[in-house]
């Protein structure tokens, strides 16, 4: 009974999370065709702070811009920041963790020391420091977030490599004359990608939240470019008089992060060897 419940939970999380993430991604890609109005140029003060209606499904903001269109275009920014910054984090973490676990000795001590330092600094504080140094803007957000969360991928990769390097298939590859680089990237890395994929999926959700936080503080994507975080920041003054201005960007952030977390949780259960053993 417990096994059946685990299988159903895993499949449900993957399906629901994948559907939410897929829908958000498709909306972002097709934003130019899906959005009913231009998110920047179609501003009309005659329609400022209009409540949701048939003409404006999500209402309008203080500049008379359609909130639905801005939420749709904001998905482009949030997903791009999440995917690109986490991709950079994963690349750095995997390379450092793979080499640290494989070579060990002083390089392992150096990488783990640097990883522990990164883990001791809150990601938002570190990102704020980088953006404050470089200045606000989308490109600087990519840089700030791309160097903040690699420590998780690094530690997971290192632990997986330490377990895998003494296994029989690695020893067989050594006996066949595989070089170190070939051994790492063709034998060890493909067999430890499961946990790394889960961390990367959850990291995208974290990066989206960090970008929204930076934009909310005015250090991320700059107006008039639509971003969910900046939309929330601009809606603070209308929180009680026009709640729809802040509700819909907040719901978009909530659903996207929820979908990514469900997908990551489902992938973790699916790729867990103990769960896999129970399924069989």
Domain boundaries, the chain: 2-279
* CATH for 2-279, options being 1.10.3720.10, 1.10.275.10, 3.40.50.2000, 1.10.287.610: 1.10.3720.10
Contact 83, 25 (CB under 8 A): no
Contact 10, 275 (CB under 8 A): yes
- The stretches of the chain forming alpha helices (DSSP H) are 2-29, 31-34, 67-103, 105-120, 123-134, 138-146, 150-164, 168-175, 180-183, 193-216, 228-234, 244-271, 273-279
User: What's the pTM value of the predicted model, to 2 decimals?
Assistant: 0.85
Backbone angles phi, psi at 60, to 5 degrees: -130, 165
Per-residue pLDDT in tens (0 to 9) along the chain, 280 residues:
455 455 556 788 889 989 999 999 999 999 999 999 999 888 888 888 889 999 999 999 988 999 999 999 999 988 998 899 999 999 999 999 999 988 888 999 999 999 999 988 888 888 888 888 888 888 888 888 888 889 989 999 998 888 887 777 777 877 777 777 888 888 888 888 888 888 888 889 989 999 898 888 888 888 888 889 889 988 888 888 889 999 999 999 999 999 999 888 888 777 665 444 444 4
CB contact set of 251 (below 8 Å; sequence gap of 6+): none
């Amino acid at each position: 009974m417990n096994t059946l419940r685990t299988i159903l939970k895993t499949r449900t999380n993957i399906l629901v999370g994948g559907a939410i993430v897929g829908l958000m991604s498709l909306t972002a890609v097709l934003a130019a065709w899906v959005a009913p109005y231009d998110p920047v140029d179609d501003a009309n003060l005659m329609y400022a702070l209009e409540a949701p209606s048939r003409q404006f499904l999500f209402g309008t903001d203080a500049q008379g811009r359609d909130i639905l269109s801005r939420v749709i275009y904001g998905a482009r920014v949030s997903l791009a920041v999440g995917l690109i910054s986490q991709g950079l984090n994963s690349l750095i973490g995997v390379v450092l963790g793979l080499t640290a676990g494989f070579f060990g000795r002083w390089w392992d001590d150096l990488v783990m020391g640097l990883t522990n330092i990164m883990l001791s600094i809150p990601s938002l504080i570190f990102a704020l420091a980088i953006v404050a140094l470089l200045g606000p803007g989308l490109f600087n957000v990519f840089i700030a977030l791309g160097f903040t969360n690699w420590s998780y991928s690094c530690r997971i990769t290192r632990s997986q490599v330490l377990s895998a390097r003494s296994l029989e298939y690695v020893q067989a590859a050594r006996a066949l004359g595989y070089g170190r680089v070939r051994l790492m990237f063709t034998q060890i890395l493909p067999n430890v990608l499961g946990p790394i994929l889960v961390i990367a999926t959850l990291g995208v959700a974290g990066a989206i939240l960090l970008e929204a936080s930076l934009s909310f503080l005015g250090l991320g994507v700059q107006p008039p470019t639509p971003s969910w975080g900046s939309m929330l920041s601009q809606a603070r003054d209308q929180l009680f008089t026009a709640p729809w201005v802040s509700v819909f960007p907040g719901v978009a952030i909530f659903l996207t992060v929820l979908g990514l977390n469900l997908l990551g949780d489902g992938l973790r259960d699916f790729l867990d060897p103990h769960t896999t053993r129970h399924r069989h």
